Homo-oligomer: A and B are copies of this chain.
Amino acid sequence: MDFASFLTSLATSFILFVVLMLLFTWLSRKPGNKEVYYPNRILRGLDPWEGGSGRTRNPFAWIREALSSSEQDVIAMSGVDTAVYFVFLSTVLGILVLSGVVLLPVLLPVAATDNFMKSSNDTSKGTFNDLDKLSMGHIEEKSPRSWAFLIATYWVSFVAYYLLWKAYNHVSDLRAAALMSPEVRPEQFTILVRDIPPPPEGQTRKEQVDSYFKAIYPDTYYRSMVVTNNKKVNKIWEDLEGYKKKLAHAEAVYAESKKTGKPEGTKPTNKTGFLGLLGKKVDSIEYYNQKINESVSKLEAEQKVTLGEKQQASALVFFTSRVAAASAAQSLHARLVDTWTVMDAPEARQLIWPNLPKNFYERQIRQILVYVIVALTIFFYMIPIGLVSAVTTLANLKKILPFIKPIVNILAIKTVLEAYLPQIALIIFLALLPKFLLFLSKEEGIPSESHAQRAASGKYFYFSVLNVFIGFTVGGTLFDSFKDIEENPNSVVDILATSLPANATFFLTFVALKFFVGYGLELSRLVPLIIYHLKRKYLCKTEDELKAAWTPGDLGLATRALKVYVPSYESYGKMWPHIHSRLVAALVLFQVTMFGYFGIKKFYYTPLIIPLPILSLIFAFICSKKFYRFFQATALEVACRELKETPNMERVFRSYIPPSLNAEKVDEDQFEDAASQVSRSQSFV
C-alpha cells in the first residue's frame, strides 16, 4: 500500500463518518427518536436534553459531555465499570499524546532528512514507500540518528509506566469509593457458598447450611438461600410471562379495532397449533386468559416442589454487616478445602444459576477441557475455514442453489461476490467468535456473567495476539523465512522486527477504518433506530413492548457510548487488572520489537534496550503486588465504612430470589418458614 492509497482509504472512511454524524445530528433532534438516543437517561427518569440545549446538540456533544462531566456523574449514571473504561481510553490517549507531541516534531525530521534511500540509489527491494520515508525504516544502518529513536523508546516506556501507574491507582480509588459507598448494595452483604457436602441424616440442606454458619458467625449471620434447580419452574414462568404479553397484545389489538372499525370491535383470534399456523382457531383473549390461569396453578405447585425438593449443594448466605460478608468471602471455612468453598456473591442479575451447584472437580475438569478447546481453536481454526471457503465458490453455490443464478449473473454483484466470498467464512467466524468464547467461558462453571465476560475477553485477547497479529502479519513472513530460522533460531526477533514495521501502515489503515466506520455507525445508532420505528409501527401494541424495543443492550465488549447503554452489571472495575496487564504486554512487545529493529539497523548500542523489558516486568510485578488482590477481594478497611441507614435485610434477601420463584400471587411461606425456623433456633441459643 503506497501513500496515495492510504490517503484514499482514510478519506473514504472519514467521509462516511461525517455522513453518519450528520445523520445523527438530524435524527437525534427529532423528539420522536428520543427513546433511541437517550434511553439510559429516560430509564433513570432524567430529562433527555438536560445539560445541553436541544438546539446545540451535535454528534461530538457526548465527547464534550464525557470530558466535562465529572467522573462522579459517570459513576452515578453508568457505574464504575464505565468510568474504568474511560480511564482506559484517557490513559491510552495520554500515552499517545505525550509520546506524539514530544517525539513527532523531533523524530520525523530526523528520519526524513536522512539520505539512506538516496545513497542506496533505489537498489533497495522496493519495500519502502512514501509514508515509510517518515519512519525509522528510512534512516541509514549504523547511523548515529538511531540515538534519537533509542531515547524515544525510553521516553515512551516511561510515559507508559507513569500513566499506567496513575491509572491503576485511580481505578483502585474508584473501586474503593464504590465499595465504601453508604448505599446498601445487596451483593456486599452476601457470599456464595459452593461444594456443600451431603447433609447429615435427618437434616435438610437448609438446616445444614444454617447450623454451619450460625456456629461460626453467631452475631452477624442473617439467613441463607439454598440454590435450587430452577429449570422446570423457569420454563413454566417463561410460558406464563409469554401468555401475559400475548394477552396484553391481543387486548390492545381489540381496543384499536374498536376505534378504527366497527364500534363493537373485532376480537383477535389465533390458532393453537405449531407456531400459531395450524390447529383450531380460538378467541385470543379467552384462550390466553385460560392459559394464564393454568400456568399460575402449575407454577405454584412447581415452586413448592422446587423449594422443597430440588435444593442443590450451593447456597447464598446473607450477613448483617458488610465487614462480616467481606471477611467471610475470603476465609477458609472447611478443613477439607474442596468443601464449603466461598466467594463474593455477584449481583443478583449476574448470577448464572445453573453453574452454581457445579462440583469443585467438575469445574476443574471443565476448565481444562475449555482451555484445550480454545487452544485448538486458536491454532487450527484456519483449517475448517479454508475447507469451507474452498467449497463455497460461486460456481459451487450456483449448482447447489440454482435460484440465485439470475441475481449472481449481474456483473457488478458477481464481481463483488467473487472478491469477497473467500473471506466470508472467515468474517462469519470472527463475528461469532466472541459469542463462542463466552459460551465456552460459561461452560467452565463460572458463577457470574461479568466474570464469564472477563474470561471470554481474556481468551479473545490471546486469540487476537496469537492469530490476527502474529498469525496474519508475521506468520507469512515466518513461513517465507522458515529456512532462516532453521539455520539460526535466534533470528525470530529479527524477523519480527523486519516484518512489523512493514505492516505498520496496514494496521494504521485498519484502525482508522474500524474507528471511523464502526464507531460512527455505532454512535449514530442507525440500525436500532430503523428497527425501533419498524417495530413501533407494525408490532408493538403495549407500553411494555415499546420499552423492550428501545431498551438498549448491555455494554458490549468493544462498543459503548456514555448516555446510551445501560450497563448490564457492575463488577466494581474488576476488569482493570486484565486491561492493565494487556497494556503492559503490548509495551513489552513494543520494546522487544524495537530491540530487534535496532539490531537490524546494526546500531552498536542496541543492548541499551535490554533493561526496558526487564523494567516492564518489574513494573508489572510491583503493580500486581500492590493493587491486584484488592480487585479479587474486598479490603476490610473499605467494607467497614458506615452505611447511610441500617440495611433492610429482608430487601437484601429478596433481591436474590429469582423471578420465577417470586411471582406476586405465590405465597412465600417456603422462604418464610425457613426464616422463622432460623429465628426460632436463634432464640434457643
Interface residues, chain A, CB within 8 Å of chain B?
172, 176, 212, 215-217, 219, 323, 326-328, 330-338, 340, 360-361, 364, 622, 625-630, 633-638, 640
> Given the complex of chains A and B, what is the CA–CA distance between A217 and B625 in angstroms?
25
> Given the complex of chains A and B, what is the CA–CA distance between A69 and B341 in angstroms?
37
> Given the complex of chains A and B, what is the CA–CA distance between A360 and B334 in angstroms?
29
9 contacts between A and B (CB under 8 A): A172-B336, A216-B323, A327-B331, A330-B331, A331-B331, A332-B630, A335-B638, A336-B630, A364-B625
> Closest 3 interchain pairs by CB?
A337-B629, A216-B640, A327-B331
B327 lies within 8 A of A215 (CB): no
> Given the complex of chains A and B, what is the CA–CA distance between A251 and B628 in angstroms?
63
Q: In the complex, what residues of B have CB within 8 A of residue A636's CB?
A: 216, 331-333
Interface residue from B331, B340, B630 paired with A335 (Cβ < 8 Å): B630
- Smallest Cβ-Cβ distance to A628: which chain B residue: B337
Q: Known interface pairs A216-B323, A327-B327. Does A335 touch B637 (Cβ–Cβ under 8 Å)?
A: yes
Interface residue from B326, B332, B364, B634 paired with A629 (Cβ < 8 Å): B332
> Given the complex of chains A and B, what is the CA–CA distance between A552 and B219 in angstroms?
47
- Smallest Cβ-Cβ distance to A172: which chain B residue: B335
Interface residue from B176, B334, B360, B640 paired with A215 (Cβ < 8 Å): B640
Q: For residue A402, give the distance in angstroms from its CB to the closest CB of chain B.
A: 55
A625 lies within 8 A of B335 (CB): no
A634 lies within 8 A of B330 (CB): no
**Given A219-B219, A337-B629, 15 more contacts at CB 8 Å?**
A172-B335, A172-B336, A216-B323, A216-B636, A326-B331, A327-B328, A330-B331, A331-B331, A332-B630, A332-B634, A333-B635, A337-B630, A338-B625, A338-B626, A360-B625
- Smallest Cβ-Cβ distance to A629: which chain B residue: B337
> Given the complex of chains A and B, what is the CA–CA distance between A633 and B212 in angstroms?
19
> Given the complex of chains A and B, what is the CA–CA distance between A590 and B326 in angstroms?
46
Q: Known interface pairs A625-B364, A640-B216. Does A330 touch B333 (Cβ–Cβ under 8 Å)?
A: no
- Smallest Cβ-Cβ distance to A626: which chain B residue: B338
A635 lies within 8 A of B335 (CB): yes
Q: In the complex, what residues of B have CB within 8 A of residue A626's CB?
A: 336-338
> Given the complex of chains A and B, what is the CA–CA distance between A360 and B629 in angstroms?
15
Q: In the complex, what residues of B have CB within 8 A of residue A215's CB?
A: 637, 640
- Smallest Cβ-Cβ distance to A625: which chain B residue: B338
Q: In the complex, what residues of B have CB within 8 A of residue A332's CB?
A: 330, 629-630, 633-636
Q: Known interface pairs A328-B327, A338-B626. Does A637 touch B172 (Cβ–Cβ under 8 Å)?
A: no
> Given the complex of chains A and B, what is the CA–CA distance between A549 and B625 in angstroms?
48
> Given the complex of chains A and B, what is the CA–CA distance between A626 and B336 in angstroms?
6
Q: For residue A194, give the distance in angstroms from its CB to the closest CB of chain B.
A: 14
Q: For residue A64, give the distance in angstroms from its CB to the closest CB of chain B.
A: 33
Q: In the complex, what residues of B have CB within 8 A of residue A628's CB?
A: 337
> Given the complex of chains A and B, what is the CA–CA distance between A628 and B637 in angstroms?
28
Q: Which of A327, A628, A636 has the most CB of B within 10 A?
A: A636
> Given the complex of chains A and B, what is the CA–CA distance between A638 and B340 in angstroms?
13
Q: For residue A367, give the distance in angstroms from its CB to the closest CB of chain B.
A: 12
Q: In the complex, what residues of B have CB within 8 A of residue A638's CB?
A: 335
- Smallest Cβ-Cβ distance to A621: which chain B residue: B364
B627 lies within 8 A of A336 (CB): yes
Q: For residue A213, give the distance in angstroms from its CB to the closest CB of chain B.
A: 9
Interface residue from B216, B328, B337, B630 paired with A625 (Cβ < 8 Å): B337
> Given the complex of chains A and B, what is the CA–CA distance between A364 and B625 in angstroms?
10
> Given the complex of chains A and B, what is the CA–CA distance between A638 and B339 in angstroms?
14
> Given the complex of chains A and B, what is the CA–CA distance between A332 and B636 in angstroms?
6
Q: For residue A154, give the distance in angstroms from its CB to the closest CB of chain B.
A: 24
A333 lies within 8 A of B219 (CB): no
> Given the complex of chains A and B, what is the CA–CA distance between A334 and B629 in angstroms?
10
> Given the complex of chains A and B, what is the CA–CA distance between A638 and B360 in angstroms?
21
- Smallest Cβ-Cβ distance to A337: which chain B residue: B629
> Given the complex of chains A and B, what is the CA–CA distance between A364 and B630 in angstroms?
19
Q: In the complex, what residues of B have CB within 8 A of residue A634's CB?
A: 332
Q: In the complex, what residues of B have CB within 8 A of residue A219's CB?
A: 219
Q: Known interface pairs A323-B216, A330-B331, A330-B332. Does A337 touch B637 (Cβ–Cβ under 8 Å)?
A: no
- Smallest Cβ-Cβ distance to A329: which chain B residue: B331
Q: For residue A188, give the distance in angstroms from its CB to the closest CB of chain B.
A: 15
> Given the complex of chains A and B, what is the CA–CA distance between A627 and B636 in angstroms?
27
B216 lies within 8 A of A337 (CB): no
> Given the complex of chains A and B, what is the CA–CA distance between A333 and B172 in angstroms?
14
Q: In the complex, what residues of B have CB within 8 A of residue A637's CB?
A: 212, 215-216, 333-335, 340
Q: For residue A261, give the distance in angstroms from its CB to the closest CB of chain B.
A: 67
Q: For residue A195, give the distance in angstroms from its CB to the closest CB of chain B.
A: 11
Q: In the complex, what residues of B have CB within 8 A of residue A334's CB?
A: 635, 637
> Given the complex of chains A and B, what is the CA–CA distance between A334 and B333 in angstroms?
22
Q: In the complex, what residues of B have CB within 8 A of residue A635's CB?
A: 332-335
> Given the complex of chains A and B, what is the CA–CA distance between A630 and B339 in angstroms?
12
> Given the complex of chains A and B, what is the CA–CA distance between A336 and B622 in angstroms?
11
- Smallest Cβ-Cβ distance to A327: which chain B residue: B331
Q: In the complex, what residues of B have CB within 8 A of residue A330's CB?
A: 330-332
Q: Which of A216, A330, A340 has the most CB of B within 10 A?
A: A216
Q: In the complex, what residues of B have CB within 8 A of residue A326's CB?
A: 331
> Given the complex of chains A and B, what is the CA–CA distance between A622 and B336 in angstroms?
11
> Given the complex of chains A and B, what is the CA–CA distance between A360 and B637 in angstroms?
19
> Given the complex of chains A and B, what is the CA–CA distance between A176 and B627 in angstroms?
33
Q: In the complex, what residues of B have CB within 8 A of residue A630's CB?
A: 332, 335-337
> Given the complex of chains A and B, what is the CA–CA distance between A340 and B333 in angstroms?
23
- Smallest Cβ-Cβ distance to A324: which chain B residue: B327
Q: In the complex, what residues of B have CB within 8 A of residue A327's CB?
A: 327-328, 331
Q: In the complex, what residues of B have CB within 8 A of residue A360's CB?
A: 625
Q: In the complex, what residues of B have CB within 8 A of residue A338's CB?
A: 625-626
Q: For residue A84, give the distance in angstroms from its CB to the closest CB of chain B.
A: 16
Q: In the complex, what residues of B have CB within 8 A of residue A336's CB?
A: 172, 626-627, 630
Q: In the complex, what residues of B have CB within 8 A of residue A364's CB?
A: 625
> Given the complex of chains A and B, what is the CA–CA distance between A37 and B636 in angstroms?
52
Q: In the complex, what residues of B have CB within 8 A of residue A217's CB?
A: 323
Q: For residue A98, give the distance in angstroms from its CB to the closest CB of chain B.
A: 26
Q: Known interface pairs A216-B640, A219-B219, A637-B212. Does A627 touch B331 (Cβ–Cβ under 8 Å)?
A: no
> Given the complex of chains A and B, what is the CA–CA distance between A331 and B331 in angstroms?
7
- Smallest Cβ-Cβ distance to A328: which chain B residue: B327
Q: For residue A174, give the distance in angstroms from its CB to the closest CB of chain B.
A: 11
Q: In the complex, what residues of B have CB within 8 A of residue A323's CB?
A: 216-217
> Given the complex of chains A and B, what is the CA–CA distance between A327 and B629 in angstroms?
17
